[in-house]
Structure 1
Amino acid sequence: MTLSGHNLVRITLCRLTQFRRAVSYFCVILLWGFVSSSYGSGNGSGNGYPLQFVDQHGTPLADVVVEVTSPLHVQPTTDIAIMDQVNKQFEPRLLTIAQGQFVSFPNSDDIRHHVYSFSQTKRFELKLYSGTPNAPVRFEQPGVVVLGCNIHDSMVGYIYVSQSKEVFISDVQGTVILPNTSTQVAIWHAMQQQDIDKRRIVSVTELQQSGPVTINIQDPAPRNTFSEMFKEHHGH
């Protein structure tokens, strides 16, 4: 049987329509898989359970560090973390790294900076420089490191050095998603009212039963300069 030109065109268009529908369906499946796998990235795993953090006024609290405590310490990574300096600010303002990891402190500004820390976890100094220092800094001890600039006092940054490989930071909604295996966590926030280097250790069961977790932060004016923070908590 021979097909007329008209019928051949109709069959071709029909098959093309079916092909487009199949491609569209496939794309939808791919997109759904991407969204599902991305859920919780940066603040936990989509397979766990959520915790929300708020301040004393009930406002969702971003940048809460939640470390799942474990007797097994994380193995140091060979990756070098980056704490940049952009527009007279540390970038990122909060950096989480593993115990023993190295951090590089490039200066992307067109002016020089003098980076240092008085924190017990890591005392160090990178004197007035531009560009990238020759050697990164190793952070051997777990804890909190507060960074400042000897030239620009409003520059404040934080490095959280963890023992565990499971460390999460709350998003703008104050939420983290913890692995189902979590039993105990350490909680820390840069603006907490308690000492800047103190972490709150609490069981996950207790947190689940309490609803949103409240962290009392500095109110009304947060600590906003390096010297103010250490004057308040360390008597400097």
Structure 2
Amino acid sequence: MRNLILFLVFATISKGAFALEINVKVIDSAGAPVVNAVVLGPASPGVSPPTQFAWPNMMEQKDIAFSPYILVVPVGSEVRFPNRDRVRHHVYSFSKGNRFELKLYGQDETRHLAFKTPGIVAVGCNIHDEMIGYIRVVDTPYAAITDAEGVARLTGMKDTNGKVTVWHPDLAGGKDIVVPYDSSQAETVAKLDGKTAEHAHH
């Protein structure tokens, strides 16, 4: 009985300590790699989202555009909105749960805002209608953005099999696509309807 208890304790510790890297390749309808797609792993019980992922919690206004075009942040985190342009910007969003307004501010000024509700935040400028960006607020510790090859790497995952969520605002109607993964496979492929070449942003 004692040996059985020790085995169960060891198995529990080993499972908790075991971390996986899941590679997800995102392509469009033409088979071209999709850059800047968001890939999310499922939340794990007892594992809280970080205060920041591997990139800054920041969306700049630069060259009359938001940079990055797509930003992923943990729920509850604060995002900086620095203005790098010589003109003033009036940044806002009407997205449910994360409505905000940052009234006119000029070059080298910065505003800060905390996002407390998971979801998609469409960001615009009240002065420059062509400016649009997206913030994805997530409640999972597993998030990645695809690179130039369309590949995202989710690190620290616990389950060998499961599902990931893939999203890009310009493809698949801007809806979440859920794709099963198997850690025994070198790569999971997710296909989004639409073509990246048809959109100015990637």
Length-normalised TM-score, structure 1: 0.64
Looking at both structures, which has the greater relative contact order when contacts are Cα pairs under 8 Å and sequence separation is at least 6?
2
2:144 to 156, 160, 168: 168
How many pairs does the alignment contain? 174
**Identity rate, percent:** 33
- Is 2:41 the counterpart of 1:68? yes
Q: Which amino acid aligns with 1:77?
A: T
Deviation at 1:218, TM superposition (A): 5.8
Distance, in Å, in 2 between the alignment partners of 1:64 and 1:193 is: 11
Within-5 A mapping of 1:29-44? none
Query: SS of 1:148's equivalent?
Result: strand
Bigger radius of gyration among the two: 1
1:214 to 170, 186, 191: 191
Query: Which residue does 1:181 correspond to in 2?
Result: 158
Deviation at 1:88, TM superposition (A): 0.5
- Is 2:175 the counterpart of 1:201? no
Length-normalised TM-score, structure 2: 0.74
Q: Deviations over 1:86-139 (max 9, x none)?
A: 111112221111000011211111100111111114111111211424x51110
RMSD over aligned Cα, in angstroms?
2.9
Cα 1:97–1:220 change in 2 (3 A) is closer
Query: Which residue does 2:30 correspond to in 1?
Result: 57
C-alpha contact 1:121 1:144 (8 A) present in aligned 2: no
Structure 1 unmatched runs, 5+ = 1-46, 225-236
Deviates more, 1:97-106 or 1:213-222: 213-222
Query: SS of 1:48's equivalent?
Result: strand
C-alpha contact 1:191 1:223 (8 A) present in aligned 2: no
- Is 2:77 the counterpart of 1:101? yes
C-alpha contact 2:90 2:126 (8 A) present in aligned 1: yes
Counting strand residues as a fraction of each chain, which structure ranks higher?
2
